[in-house]
Structure 1
């Protein structure tokens, strides 16, 4: 998971200032992530990790300034919320995702099995628990071909075996020349090299 020699960064941030609700979350913040890297954002709750990921994904509804350049032709963002259509089943949600992303359907059931939803494929998501709905969203990782992944707490509501499987998928994305930026309160397995970036909570003025 090392940066490819002479490669252009998939994501470049320079001098970013991020503000939400009149409070500065980040000031003069810069980073670059290259093909083959996994980056973990670390910091206290409220330090701005989720806000940063949403800004990088183009989803921010708050003010920011500075340079932000994404050189990936597509990206996948998974946030705190489940991000599923609750009237649809897990299988239907993934079919919809594959149709939007022009992905083959061949791996759909295997993806649901990987997030421990075997037997729940055809149950409307509004009848599933919050954790199960989140795992429907995580199943997208087993289908996605986007070179850049932005993942906010992806290991929530997953058991130890599921964490290992998901960590393998993240490592495989990097090994294939992609890059992953994530937050997590759970550490990746010790044999997964990760570049750690600390985000300090800004003091109120």
Structure 2
């Protein structure tokens, strides 16, 4: 497998972000920066815009005003490079239920196996990643025969294999049992300790990460923005 941190430089910034949905302002004048070793947890009530903001930061939604930059360049200009440097996991498991965990993982990591990527990911790497999320023995079982928690683990197995310094995670603890929660907590702690960065939405109480910053979008809306 390629060195997980062959290029570990993280520099993502948002300046004066404004976004509305259904004629309702989600956030206005929002500024933030994420660099190496940072953990940013987005909080707020349902409908506060947490998932919308994550998708903006991932470069998947361009319906906003303001500026998003990666290493000082507009995100839209350097998106191809940015997409290989950030790993986005949405709130759904994002797997094909008719495929096996092994087939799903091979498909999920394919963007990091292109000719433009320096990554070398072998089938042995895929098997080890699935074993890391306690899916050993289920590698070739159709995902529609797995529990919701096991299906979530298939998606999360990317964290054990993809070389991306920035993780953007939307409610990744959903459907996980105690062992799964502990594994994911450890992955996040280790990723930040190795100078990676994480942006996450979660109702789970993250602990033991000194660089944790919490941004409450509900409080932001009440305050009328963040400057």
Q: Distance in 1 between matches of 2:183 and 2:149?
A: 17
Check the 8 A contact 1:114/1:162 in 2, yes or no: no
Tell me the equivalent position of 1:14.
15
The structure whose residues are more often helix, as a share, is: 2
- Structure 2 residue matching 1:45: 3-state secondary structure: coil
Q: Distance in 2 between matches of 1:165 and 1:44?
A: 26
Tell me the equivalent position of 2:26.
25
Q: Distance in 2 between matches of 1:93 and 1:13?
A: 33
Q: Distance in 2 between matches of 1:132 and 1:161?
A: 12
Q: TM-score, normalised by structure 2?
A: 0.78
**1:157 shift after superposition:** 1.5
Deviations 1:115-155 (A, max 9, x none): 23222211122333333222211111111211111001111
Tell me the equivalent position of 2:106.
95
Tell me the equivalent position of 1:142.
160
Check the 8 A contact 1:56/1:68 in 2, yes or no: yes
Check the 8 A contact 1:9/1:32 in 2, yes or no: no
Aligned-pair Cα RMSD in Å? 2.1
Tell me the equivalent position of 1:3.
none
Q: Distance in 2 between matches of 1:34 and 1:150?
A: 13
**1:196 shift after superposition:** 1.2
Aligned pair count reads 195
Indicate yes or no: 2:166 matched with 1:155: no
Tell me the equivalent position of 1:192.
209
Q: Distance in 2 between matches of 1:127 and 1:162?
A: 19
Check the 8 A contact 2:152/2:176 in 1, yes or no: no
Unaligned runs of 5+ in 1: 1-7
**1:9 shift after superposition:** 5.6
Unaligned runs of 5+ in 2: 1-8, 72-81, 114-119, 223-227
**Deviates most, 103-112 or 12-21:** 103-112
Tell me the equivalent position of 1:68.
68
Q: TM-score, normalised by structure 1?
A: 0.85
Q: Distance in 2 between matches of 1:80 and 1:107?
A: 25
Q: Distance in 2 between matches of 1:151 and 1:23?
A: 24
**1:14 shift after superposition:** 0.7
Indicate yes or no: 2:94 matched with 1:83: yes
**Aligned partner of 2:196 among 151, 171, 178:** 178
